[in-house]
Amino acid sequence: MAELVLLNPKMYVAGLDFSGSYSQHALVMDADSPEFTAFGDTTREYLGGLIGVGSEHEGFFDGPVDNDLFTNMAAAARNMTLTPDGGVEGDVAFFAQTIGTSYAPGANVGDAYAFSASNQVSGVLTRGLVFTNGTEVATDDGTAFNLGAVAAGQKLRASLHVLAVAGSSPEVDVIIESDTLEAFTDTPATQITFAQLTDVGGEYATADGAIADTWYRASWTLGVNTDSALIAVSVGIA
């Protein structure tokens, strides 16, 4: 990815698009380095330890965002996806399960009412690709991407956000498929099946390696009473 001016990053948490309310965000990664220096050593020795990841954000007050941050403080891990360059198909995406750890709204007199917030990643932060991000009006398959094989001990990881739905009784079913061929004409296999959503929401899901296939795509089925659904899916291997 070439140099980038941060103009239109996307941030999704579960079924809510935070993008238009934020003006700053950062992923913060650190790693423990426990010391194991022993007698006879002439330099200090360290081991690579546990990795921790958090995210920090600043933005401007927005009703739905305020309600979400306040209501879900310390809630069980929810899926979050960050994309630095607009969130279109093929863009780099960072996604994980996160827990809200701080929320501080406020401002000085005369200033725009603002807030800061932070999250703690629970588990693995995955660097993957946006597989699809747009309003769908019919059952369809997404673009195929070559992520490579999933080795034993690794997982295929995916983050789904349904950000809007329309219809008298909407039903949205999303799966992640794999194949040996880009055209998916060999032996397509379903690797991940997300729970059906009937309203906005999100889910983080995984499939264990080894998976020999190298091509992957998102596919979605809209129920007969579903007029449209705004779907964002990111997938990676870690």
Please name which of 56, 73, 67 lies closest in space to residue 22, comparing C-alpha atoms: 56
Residues 215-235: tens digit of each pLDDT: 999 999 999 999 999 999 999
pLDDT at residue 181, as a whole number? 97
Question: Would you say 82 and 55 are in contact if contact means Cβ atoms under 8 Å apart?
Answer: yes
Residues 68-120: tens digit of each pLDDT: 999 999 998 899 999 988 899 999 999 999 999 999 999 999 999 999 999 99
CATH class of 130-237: mainly beta
Q: Is the pLDDT of residue 156 over 60?
A: yes
Q: Which two tokens stand for residue 137?
A: 């009006």
The pairing of beta strand 10-13 with beta strand 145-146: unpaired
- pTM here is 0.92
Q: Is the pLDDT of residue 1 over 90?
A: no
Dmax over CA atoms of the chain, in Å, equals 74
Residue 106: Cβ-neighbour burial (10 angstroms; 0-12, 13-18, 19+): exposed
Q: Which two tokens stand for residue 151?
A: 């080795």
Domain ranges of the chain: 10-31+48-121, 130-237
Determine the Cα–Cα distance for residues 177 and 189; give it in Å rounded to an integer: 5
pLDDT at residue 6, as a whole number? 78
140: phi then psi, degrees, rounded to nearest 5 = -165, 170
Please name which of 64, 16, 86 lies closest in space to residue 230, comparing C-alpha atoms: 16
Q: Which two tokens stand for residue 43?
A: 């330099």
Average pLDDT of the chain to the nearest whole number: 95
- Could you tell me which residues come within 8 angstroms of residue 167 by beta carbon, excluding any fewer than 6 positions away? 223, 225, 226, 227, 228
Does 3 or 116 have the greater pLDDT score? 116
Residues 158-213: tens digit of each pLDDT: 999 999 999 999 999 999 999 999 999 998 999 999 999 999 999 999 999 999 99
CA angle 164, 170, 171 (to 5 degrees): 100
CA distances from 155 to 13, 53, 195, 206 (A): 21, 18, 19, 6
Core vs surface per residue 30-53: b (16+ CB within 10 A) or e = eeeeeeeeeeeeeeeeeeeeeeeb
